Structure 1
């Protein structure tokens, strides 16, 4: 008996921004971006492509793949840091958009680990109620949260959404385990301020605006070590080794982090799914988009051991293992 992925889906904005396009916006060039990040292009949201719209289209595809109707969804969890409104949540907008009238819905802010934390929640909810079907979505329009004059961040991120429907099965497939962690003491290395307070007594000093700010070199070191440790801890707790894994789907941060993770985990590159070149870093949408890509390409077969790992602002990080 286990909690399985019943179906996956994804949605990307129509507009594709290449590295060459960025050359007219900020002091950079295609070669500099590709060699340092592995990113060649990213999708940028346009008119009628708000976060909840991308999330809803991804959700609809996942439900079709899962052969689940909207009224069968009991819970919608959306991992995002770029909703178009503070309230209501993106998840509530998705609920209305897809017609999931029987679901309760809320957002989850864990930055790039948002989908992973949502997966962990789905696991716990369905363990408690085997009849429940949970829709977990990672969705971002980070183009609305970038300082387009800051070449250290604006070249990295893109927009998009990925979704998965989770449910119960009587066989031996499903989520084997999760291992989630966080460390709020390091928040300054990767953060985003909110709008300035209208209460002068609660104004935050040095609020540089609601943009992503990052100390890239420090984040790199923490990200690689944290993902490696979470993967090894999870595998050890289940009496497994990295050799038991069929496919690793990591957060698509940048190619240097991914290559270093491959090296530290001592796996061959063909065991790690990478699509960062096409989409850039889509934060909470990164893993579910990659999962849907791998799934739609037929790279995951029933019985495969699929490992996920992520790292994001907070810091938040973790790993999850599923027998497909």
Structure 2
């Protein structure tokens, strides 16, 4: 290391994983290390003037089908004559008895700061620095590994914090992995999900996700070009099919790519926003054997 060179600073001990700024809603992300007593999730944003409702779900998994259990469902509702908040738990596809708080501490058109604090037996919620409610766990907190935000809400920031940063082993701040990298696949079937989460590098050029079969053929490729800010599917013959959607990759920003296998192809979502699908025969999907990622990114999570 040269004399003037400095090591990258370690993350603040209060921060458990990279914060997310201005995510597109609906937004679903992994909670690194899952939930445990002593963790805190911060949500900062604005309630739109025409908001009907939004929800923050602490989920036991990120699958789309079957729907995962939701250990904690926090659901403010503004469209009724008496605005209120519902908390509930979804288990085995069925909602349990809901808990209701009639005095809503959030207002349409107003900004807010919500803190979800996780204790041993219950979650405590504060809004703009004032205690608002508590909700006892009905499913083990240890099962929760995914955060989902849906509905009428503008999110400015999501933070994952440690109430006590001096607890040994308290940090789950992820370690980034360099690319290119690959993962073994055993074929894809309807309902399976591929999830990539990572960080775009400071001066990016491109990002490529390719799926390869037993003969090393590449039936499908997803490519992002930072030069012309385009996202496209690339066919095995090099033909490009542009995805007509806002380009949601930004330098030094975190991203999430989700591919859902369904009958007849793959459905794509980026940062929680659905971007359509590409058609693939089911036999082609079942023969896929490798997921390969390359380009100007650092990966934190690869789930397949």
TM-score, scaled to structure 1: 0.28
Question: Higher Cα Rg: structure 1 or 2?
Answer: 2
Q: Name whichever structure is richer in helix by fraction.
A: 1
Q: Name whichever structure is richer in strand by fraction.
A: 2
Q: Higher relative contact order by CA 8 Å / sep ≥ 6: 1 or 2? A: 1
TM-score, scaled to structure 2: 0.30
